[in-house]
């Protein structure tokens, strides 16, 4: 059985790579596809349209028994349902709802809804990363939750003792933010956190880089209890996370915040695997972390620093191998069994 894993930005999507790895490990033949983006010159919008068109036609010529399709941008996969191919629709996020929030209404939003509905209608199986997304629609077909938990191999022994190198007392509490610096990831909430921690026996560590780096640059200049380490190689993250006391997940609240929790947000699982309690805002509630409103986020972190409140102790066993691999194999096996049954009827 040949399974094609389709993800437009394949190399940038750990989920797609983990799914492919799991299937290969279990004896399936896997074809990995990511857009080549052959049009590199010209106006940005025109290049995007031409690259989407190229991807649309390229996908139509990929030969496989089952296609595992990651949504966004859904439109390039429309050839698969119209060609009658068997596919799993992996809805990594509520794409159409996000577009509606950004553009409110209009042609683009209507197109997104239509495309999403087509992909849902003709899929043989729906996969989502969180339990709330399972109940987003009446899909009228099987739906499986496959969380974005990290692999066991993500946890590594630290190569440096950063607390000792930086002469940080054991009593000082370190709150760490790891990830892309962008407003979508809540980087613009960090200045309030820095202000709230001023004068307390605490530090704010920021590990990452991105378009909102100017926000972090201003924080570092203003506060001596804030450290910015920039972009760090993934295999070196252990040095920073193990040195910290708490993991931060700041998000702005939106109408689709309910769909994001510890199952879908990969960063939370990475904190958990190192035993770090998580303080979050703007996402769905969970018994595994402390969540608050964005307006109260900085104050909540300050109260944790003072010892007035304490986040829940994190689970240590939420890993890809334990909770996700079997679910992936079950989805593919069910499709294979259904195809055998259909053949048997003729």
- CATH top-level class for 2-146+324-345? alpha beta
pLDDT of the residue at 196:
97
Contact 56, 62 (CB under 8 A): no
Burial class (CB in 10 A: 0-12, 13-18, 19+), 133: buried
| CATH 3.40.50.2000 domain span(s) along the chain | 2-146+324-345, 152-318
pLDDT digits (tens, 9 = 90+) for 228-267: 999 999 889 999 999 999 999 999 998 888 999 999 999 9
pLDDT digits (tens, 9 = 90+) for 87-136: 999 998 887 776 666 556 667 778 888 999 999 999 999 999 999 999 98
The closest of 196, 191, 310, 167 to 206, measured between CA atoms, is 191
CA 13 to each of CA 168, 185, 200, 305, 308: distance values in angstroms, whole numbers, following the listed order: 35, 16, 38, 34, 39
The closest of 218, 168, 163 to 195, measured between CA atoms, is 218
- CATH top-level class for 152-318? alpha beta
Contacts (Cβ under 8 Å, ≥6 apart) of 106 = none
| Tokens, residue 211 | 């378009």
Q: What is the mean pLDDT of the chain?
A: 91
pLDDT digits (tens, 9 = 90+) for 83-96: 999 999 999 888 77
Residue 224: phi and psi, rounded to 5, are -90, 0
pLDDT of the residue at 299:
97
DSSP single-letter state for residue 204: E
Name residue, tokens 């999403």.
Answer: 116
3-state secondary structure at position 102: helix
């Amino acid at each position: 059985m040949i399974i094609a894993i389709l993800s437009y930005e394949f190399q940038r999507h750990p989920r797609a790579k983990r799914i492919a790895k799991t299937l290969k490990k279990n004896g399936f033949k896997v074809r990995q596809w990511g857009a080549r983006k052959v049009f590199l010159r010209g106006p940005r919008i025109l290049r995007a349209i031409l690259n989407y068109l190229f991807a649309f036609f390229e996908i139509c010529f990929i030969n496989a028994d089952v296609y595992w399709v990651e949504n966004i941008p859904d439109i390039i996969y429309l050839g698969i349902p119209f060609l009658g191919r068997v596919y799993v629709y992996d809805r990594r996020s509520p794409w159409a709802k996000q577009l509606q929030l950004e553009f409110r209404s209009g042609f683009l939003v209507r197109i997104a809804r239509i495309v999403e509905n087509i992909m849902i209608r003709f899929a043989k199986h729906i996969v989502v990363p969180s339990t709330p997304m399972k109940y987003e629609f009446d899909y009228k077909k099987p739906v499986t939750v496959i969380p974005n938990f990290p692999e066991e191999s993500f946890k590594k022994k630290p190569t440096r003792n950063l607390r000792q190198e930086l002469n940080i007392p054991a009593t000082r509490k370190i709150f760490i933010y790891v990830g892309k610096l962008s407003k979508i990831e809540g980087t613009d909430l960090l200045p309030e956190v820095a202000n709230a921690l001023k004068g307390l026996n605490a530090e704010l560590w920021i590990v990452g880089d991105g378009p909102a780096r100017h926000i972090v640059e201003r924080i570092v200049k203003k506060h001596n209890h804030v450290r910015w380490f920039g972009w760090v190689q993934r295999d070196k993250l252990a040095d920073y996370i193990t040195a910290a006391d708490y993991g931060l997940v700041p998000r702005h609240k939106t109408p689709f915040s309910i769909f994001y929790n510890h199952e879908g947000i990969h960063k939370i699982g990475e904190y958990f695997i190192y035993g770090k309690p998580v303080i979050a805002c703007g996402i769905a509630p969970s018994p595994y972390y402390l969540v608050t409103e964005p307006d109260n986020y900085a104050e909540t972190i300050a109260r944790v620093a003072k010892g007035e409140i304490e986040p829940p102790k994190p689970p240590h066993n939420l890993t890809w191998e334990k909770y996700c691999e079997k679910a992936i194999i079950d989805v593919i096996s069910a499709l294979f069994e259904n195809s055998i049954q259909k053949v048997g009827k003729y």
